[in-house]
Amino acid sequence: SHPALKAVVISIYILAQVCPTAAFVENPSRAQVVRITATSDADLNFVRHVKHKFNLDAWRDVHQTNGSGDFFVPSHHIQVIRNLLKLHGIPFTILVDDPMRFISEHEKREVKLRLSRAVKRDNFRYKYLSYNQIHDFLESVQKKTSQANVYIDVIGKSFEGRDTPYVKITGKSHPRPKGTIFIDGGIHSREWISPAMAIEVIHRLALNTEQDPQVDQLLDMFDFIVVPLVNPDGYAYTFRPGENGGSTRMWRKSRSSNYSSHYSCYGVDLNRNFGYEWNDNPSYGGSSDPCSPSFSGPFSFSEPESQNLRRLLLSNKDDIKGYLSFHSYGQYMLYPWGYRQDVEIEDEHDLFHVAKVFRDVMLKNNYDYHVGGSAKSLYPAAGGSSDYVKGVIGVKYSYTLELPPVEGSTPYGFIIPEREVETIVTDTWKGIKALLFRLHYHT
């Protein structure tokens, strides 16, 4: 672009750095979600640099290949980031003006709907359960089942001292030594559909109120361990949406407070904290900055929440045949490696074909899933749980499942209205069943 223009923009940038709120912010109380498009490798690197430098929260991160990403930009950074993008000729649009207002309005609508809803057949089903309600649900499951078939315990406490429950479901018959399927949800707290999906799995397997014969078959093939909520502190925090102008609803990390000066920044990205090829360099998708939304922690397994999961994984190491970690959103079925893009995985063929069974079933139900390697399909992210489960626990079939909605379909992918939960989890369960049958055939 024009050199003079460049100079002007640079000086605006410098000025804005010196006095960020003085002259350039039109409405300092209003954040924006900005969709930034990176079409070349150079642009992609630049966008990642901006993201890192300003610790921007990606509501949808920009991919390795190209395309766009959606970033939450706090009001005091809006002008400087706009100027930077303009300077480098990188196209952007305002996707959501004042996202916090959107979230609080959404929450108000949800509360109203909940109050107006008639008494449901099952108080726990197809809902976003609070941390306490998850405990109540598990208690009700234990009351209806025998401890020999459904065993419920806790794997440890979170940073703030919350218990982290898990469920082991073995079924009634024990035809032969069985492998174990390990499932978790809620590593990232704002991805509410993830624990909801894990809870649906518990409901289906432990209670089988549908009397689905396929569930009996599955329980003849496998034992199941389900950890519905790996990050209870973060999750509880997202249930206080009235606070901080609604911004708690979009919290992603845990809530530890040890690592920044004056304890001003909270939390570790637990899906960057697992100990296989752990790396907090931003080019590996994490960060060494406690104020970053993808802070990797000071070292691998620094957090009680990731330690809790590790302990349960290690004590079942020899039995685990498959691992599924629920996240959202984007509709991706991802397998290792996630830590970097340029490493080949030796058994990709098998991982792909098992995942494709899921994809095919989901496609019949009108969900288009992408199947592929984590770093290649999405972006590099070292310290993810599914890399650890494959690399250290030694589980061949280790997956991260990015649940609906599909990318780009909505600007608010984490915020699915509660009335849509039933359809999503019921449909997804069909795909998971098919995947598990295929997995058994392979193992």
Q: d(Cα 220, Cα 37) in Å, to the nearest integer? A: 49
SS3 sequence of 282-325: HHHCCECCCCCCCECCCCCCCCHHHHHHHHHHHCCCCCEEEEEE
Q: Tell me which residues touch ligand ARG (CB under 6 A).
A: 271, 327, 334, 338, 374-375, 378-381, 384, 400
**Location of structure tokens 């709907």:** 113
248 or 374: CB nearest ligand ARG: 374
Token digits for 319?
């039995």
**Partner whose footprint covers residue 400, from Zn ion, ligand ARG, none (CB < 5 to 8 Å by kind):** ligand ARG
181 or 187: CB nearest ligand ARG: 187
188 or 340: CB nearest Zn ion: 188
User: What pairs with residue 181 in β-bridges?
Assistant: 224, 322
The DSSP result for 140-197, as a single string, is HHHHHS-TTTEEEEEEEE-TT--EEEEEEE--S---S--EEEEEE--SSTT-THHHHH
Q: d(Cα 147, Cα 397) in Å, to the nearest integer? A: 28
Q: Supply the minimum distance, in Å, between the C-beta of residue 384 and ligand ARG.
A: 5
Q: d(Cα 243, Cα 260) in Å, to the nearest integer? A: 22
Q: Supply the minimum distance, in Å, between the C-beta of residue 225 and ligand ARG.
A: 21
**Partner whose footprint covers residue 334, from ligand ARG, Zn ion, none (CB < 5 to 8 Å by kind):** ligand ARG
Q: Which residue is nearest to ligand ARG (CB)?
A: 338
CA angle centred on 78, ends 76 and 83, rounded to 5°: 125
Angular region, 34: left φ>0, alpha ψ -120 to 50, beta rest: beta
307 or 341: CB nearest ligand ARG: 341
Q: Tell me which residues touch Zn ion (CB under 5 A).
A: 188, 327
Q: Supply the minimum distance, in Å, between the C-beta of residue 282 and ligand ARG.
A: 13
Q: Which one of 277, 303, 305, 402 is the catalytic residue? A: 402
Q: Supply the minimum distance, in Å, between the C-beta of residue 386 and ligand ARG.
A: 7
Q: Is the dihedral of CA 42, 46, 48, 52 positive or negative?
A: positive
Q: Helices 213-221 and 421-442 meet at what angle, rounded to 10?
A: 40
Based on the residue annotation, tell me whether 407 is a catalytic residue of this protein.
no
Q: Supply the minimum distance, in Å, between the C-beta of residue 376 and ligand ARG.
A: 9
30 or 63: CB nearest ligand ARG: 63
204 or 327: CB nearest ligand ARG: 327
CA angle centred on 191, ends 188 and 192, rounded to 5°: 120
The conformation of residue 342, written as its DSSP 8-state character, comes to: T
Which residue type sits at 386? S
**Partner whose footprint covers residue 375, from ligand ARG, Zn ion, none (CB < 5 to 8 Å by kind):** ligand ARG
Q: Supply the minimum distance, in Å, between the C-beta of residue 230 and ligand ARG.
A: 12
- Kindly list the catalytic residues: 402
